[in-house]
Structure 1
Amino acid sequence: MRLSRRRAMALGLAVPALLRTGRAKAATVLKISHQFPGGTATEGDFRDRLCRRFAELVSERSKGTLSAEIYPGSSLMKTNAQFSAMRKGALDMSLIPISYAGGDLPELNIGLMPGLVTSYEEGLAWKTRPIGQELTKFLAAKGVVIVTWIWQAGGAACRSRPLVDVADAKGVKVRGGSREMDLVLQAAGASVLSLPSNELYAAMQTGACDAALTSSTSLTSFRLEELAKHLTSGRARSYWFMLEPLVMSKAAFDRLSAEERDIIVAVGAELEEFGRSAAMQDDVRVAKVYEAAGATVHDLDDRLVQAWRALARDTAWKDYANKNENCARLIKLAMEVGS
């Protein structure tokens, strides 16, 4: 028998909240998947920590109507499936190198275009410049929203001989991290292989990979110092900057209330300073970790950066611009930021 509110009060029973206020809105739980090692809010890979801070802040500001569950180490789904899953609305959020989706959406290879971005300031300036606005529109049209802009400098871990100058690449089996980086390495005489960063340790351990280009954070999070005799560091200069944002399925974003969307956007923007600071700290820390493990650390100077940039301009930049009109427009806008 259904108990009316009046009957319940007459019987001296407590009136359930649903009877007093109507149907309560169920809390929204966002699933965030990424490929990096898990930790805590204060310890471990900063990309995992950033996701945990995001979850804590959105829960606090939404008074519990929003929460998030973190799935590190590709424990929810495989790395290369995450971007496509967000586009389909099958995954809520991920922190992922944007260039991982370059196979399906070649425009996104601009997120790891060698020599294009040469400082954190330049990369982070994209957000408010026409290049960032156009990239944001393009992603939204493909079903993905950028929540937090994160850039990382990269380096190279090498099993036997260093990879510092362009000439060093000849004959090396190397993981570049993007189609465009692979084009540059191939032009320098290397043979390339494509795999996500969480598979690098096994590839280097078996000898399938002689050298790996990846972010400073991944160079330590995936323990490559255990296998490398040389490190090319990004602590001074780098020709290798990667856009690795926290992103969200537009379908999931659009399902939220206006207030909840505002919270997502505000928290995402606030975490950008944490991401920049943590990435820069890792550029310094990685050199110390490799030195302690017995590796020789090599720093880049302006001459080396410009040599790699010149090769990239003649190969990867041209190849990208010739893909389609969108690519040509995006790289032109990106070049304006550094001019």
Structure 2
Amino acid sequence: MTVMTRRTVLAALASSPLWMHNAWAQSTSLKISHQFPGGTINEGDFRDRLCRMFAADVEKRSKGALKFSIYPGSSLMKTNAQFSAMRKGALDLSLVPLSYAGGEVPEVNIGLMPGLVTSYEQGYSWKNAEVGKELARILAEKGIVVLSWIWQAGGVASRSKPIVEPEDVRGMKVRGGSREMDLILKEAGAAVVTLPSNEIYAAMQTGAMDAALTSSTSLISFRLEEVSKALTTGRGGAYWFMFEPLMMSKAVFDRLPKDQQAILMAVGGELEAFARKSAQEDDSAVAAVYQKAGAKVVDLNAATVKKWQAIARTTAWKDYREKNANCAKLLALAEKTL
């Protein structure tokens, strides 16, 4: 009489075609976290919509092998914890401003380097340029895969006067959004305030902050017109361009079969056109939103952008270049796209 041990039973099951089929057929459930207001696939903040479109398309193309749960409004974890969690494999995907991780990985601050990117054409050219390939290599080394390259121009919401020239920020408490942005604000005479964009409203409402630089989409989605009397838009020109990609944990990505990895990369790439169009539409839409709320709306011209860029070269760019060899190389490659 043969005695069936637990080990022989499991071995028999594992080698059976039925077991192998069921294991293959099981779907992988992935979590996408972001800090922006939630909506639907057709309505709301375009970054939330992009995550929902991405999830739906990947699920369809993978025939249900990949499924997603989306957590808007930092409902899964705090905003500033997302990048680190992806690196450790504790979070699957996130759409988050890359520069938020600058304290952890100084190289990523190139994603919000004042005056370095001044147009969507230039920003989106990075992906296939040397600078983009080097940035992707560094991120992969740090445990991150970029699925969608997303750039957004930004503007300034102010509780009082419009912020146009560098001297306009003197004596004001201003949120820049990255260490490098803060450096040029300090040089211009501002006191800097550091917090993620989903905390700007409360800070401006209480007077803890006088003005904030953030993307056009965030200027709308976080209803900052309710606490602002002036807006400087990014529609005519901007020295504030944020790299805000959809990213994935490399540890999670690497565990997936090659065909599923290919689907993730393909869908992410295809959604970049939607992101660019939506961001540019918001650059224009934000003016109407603030005008309706009674705020004074102003634009920047090329000469003013150059003034901010000149300050950036001697402060933010210099500081970044001196951080390490990777930073120096990235900046040199980025300057080739100017």
The alpha-carbon distance between structure 1 residues 253 and 167, as it changes in their structure 2 partners (threshold 3 A), is same
2:254 maps to 254
1:150 maps to 150
2:67 is the counterpart of 1:67: yes
Looking at structure 2, the residues matched to 301 and 219 of structure 1 have their Cα atoms a distance apart, in angstroms, of 20
How many residues are matched? 323
2:26 is the counterpart of 1:26: yes
Secondary structure in 2 matching 1:254 = helix
Secondary structure in 1 matching 2:114 = coil
Query: TM-score, length-normalised on structure 1?
Result: 0.94
Equivalent AA in structure 2 for residue 225 of structure 1: E
2:193 maps to 193
1:128-277 to 2 correspondences below 5 Å: 128-277=128-277
1:254-312 Cα deviation digits (max 9, x unpaired): 01101000000000000000000000000000000000000010100011000000010
Which runs of 5 or more residues in structure 1 are unaligned? 1-16
1:280 maps to 280
Looking at structure 1, the residues matched to 60 and 27 of structure 2 have their Cα atoms a distance apart, in angstroms, of 13
1:19 Cα deviation after fit: 6.8
1:85 maps to 85
Secondary structure in 1 matching 2:155 = strand
Looking at structure 1, the residues matched to 164 and 19 of structure 2 have their Cα atoms a distance apart, in angstroms, of 69
Equivalent AA in structure 1 for residue 63 of structure 2: K
1:139-167 Cα deviation digits (max 9, x unpaired): 00000000000000000000011111111
Looking at structure 2, the residues matched to 86 and 308 of structure 1 have their Cα atoms a distance apart, in angstroms, of 34
Looking at structure 1, the residues matched to 331 and 259 of structure 2 have their Cα atoms a distance apart, in angstroms, of 35
1:333 Cα deviation after fit: 0.2
Cα RMSD, aligned residues only: 1.3
Show structure 1 runs of 4+ deviating over 3 A.
Answer: 17-25
1:12 maps to none
1:126-145 Cα deviation digits (max 9, x unpaired): 00000000000000000000
1:25 Cα deviation after fit: 3.3
The alpha-carbon distance between structure 1 residues 135 and 294, as it changes in their structure 2 partners (threshold 3 A), is same
Equivalent AA in structure 2 for residue 68 of structure 1: F
Query: TM-score, length-normalised on structure 2?
Result: 0.94
Equivalent AA in structure 2 for residue 38 of structure 1: G
Native 8 Å contact 1:233 1:297 kept in 2: yes
Native 8 Å contact 1:176 1:182 kept in 2: yes
Equivalent AA in structure 1 for residue 185 of structure 2: L
Secondary structure in 2 matching 1:114 = coil
1:9 maps to none
Native 8 Å contact 1:18 1:24 kept in 2: no
Looking at structure 1, the residues matched to 21 and 173 of structure 2 have their Cα atoms a distance apart, in angstroms, of 65
1:18 Cα deviation after fit: 3.7
1:22 Cα deviation after fit: 5.6
1:310 maps to 310
Looking at structure 1, the residues matched to 325 and 251 of structure 2 have their Cα atoms a distance apart, in angstroms, of 27
1:26 Cα deviation after fit: 1.5
Equivalent AA in structure 2 for residue 149 of structure 1: W
1:11 maps to none
Looking at structure 2, the residues matched to 23 and 145 of structure 1 have their Cα atoms a distance apart, in angstroms, of 26
2:120 maps to 120
1:10 maps to none
Which runs of 5 or more residues in structure 2 are unaligned? 1-16
1:224 Cα deviation after fit: 0.3
Equivalent AA in structure 1 for residue 183 of structure 2: L
1:58 maps to 58
1:187 Cα deviation after fit: 0.1
The alpha-carbon distance between structure 1 residues 249 and 21, as it changes in their structure 2 partners (threshold 3 A), is closer
Looking at structure 1, the residues matched to 306 and 261 of structure 2 have their Cα atoms a distance apart, in angstroms, of 42
2:324 maps to 324
1:30 Cα deviation after fit: 1.1
1:67 Cα deviation after fit: 1.2
Looking at structure 2, the residues matched to 185 and 152 of structure 1 have their Cα atoms a distance apart, in angstroms, of 20
Secondary structure in 1 matching 2:154 = strand
2:296 maps to 296
